[in-house]
Amino acid sequence: MEKTVNGYRARLAEPPSEPADAPGEPQVVQLTAALKIVTRLREQHAAAHELWQRGMPKAAIGRKLGPHQATVRKLVNARSADDVVAKNLQRARDVDPYVGYLHRRWNEGVRNGAQLRREIQEQGYLGDELAVQ
């Protein structure tokens, strides 16, 4: 739980000083383009296209750059890095709707991951414990 909260913390805006209309409802957090995965995908897309234009096969590109061959195929087939990034950012995670709440509770001093998980389960979180860790 703490890893998840810490991982999202840098990407979150400060919570508003006014209380939310419905305090029990989770807040949806808008992810920014500054995510590490965005940077990594852009770099991998550029590198994969450069090697592909030199005539290197996709399997060899995967061995050289590291991603799975299916990822290399997606990178090479995408017209731009934004095509790959957009698909990745649209992938929802079970805990995403609760990140705002978790951030607020973390700032209030609650550091017990099990307690935070129980609190979001009371709000409707259906994911397992591993997703929250």
In this structure, what token pair is assigned to residue 79? 């017209």
Query: 83 and 53, same structural domain?
Result: yes
Query: 79 and 100, same structural domain?
Result: no
Query: 43 and 21, same structural domain?
Result: no
Cβ(53)–Cβ(47) below 8 Å: no
| Collapsed DSSP state (helix, strand, coil) of residue 128 | coil
Q: How far does the chain reach from its first CA to its final CA, in angstroms?
A: 3
Query: 103 and 119, same structural domain?
Result: yes
Least confident of 25-29, 43-47, 94-98, 105-109: 25-29
How does pLDDT run across 84-98, given as a tens digit for each residue? 877 666 566 777 788
CA gap 47, 89 in Å, rounded: 20
In total, how many domains does the chain have? 2
Q: Evaluate the CA torsion angle 16, 19, 20, 24 in order and state its sign.
A: positive
Query: 20 and 64, same structural domain?
Result: no
DSSP summary character for residue 27: P
Query: 63 and 45, same structural domain?
Result: yes
Query: 117 and 103, same structural domain?
Result: yes
Query: 82 and 43, same structural domain?
Result: yes
Q: Which domain holds residue 70?
A: 36-89
| Collapsed DSSP state (helix, strand, coil) of residue 55 | coil
Q: Is the pTM of this model over 0.75?
A: no
Query: 85 and 44, same structural domain?
Result: yes
Of all residues in the chain, what percent carry a pLDDT higher than 90?
Answer: 23
State mean pLDDT over 29-37: 56
Cβ(116)–Cβ(110) below 8 Å: yes
Query: 41 and 18, same structural domain?
Result: no
Query: 72 and 40, same structural domain?
Result: yes
Helices (H), 1-133: 2-9, 36-53, 58-65, 69-77, 81-89, 99-107, 113-122, 129-132
Q: How many CB atoms lie within 10 A of CB 118?
A: 11
Query: 122 and 107, same structural domain?
Result: yes
Asked if pLDDT for residue 131 goes beyond 70, the answer is no
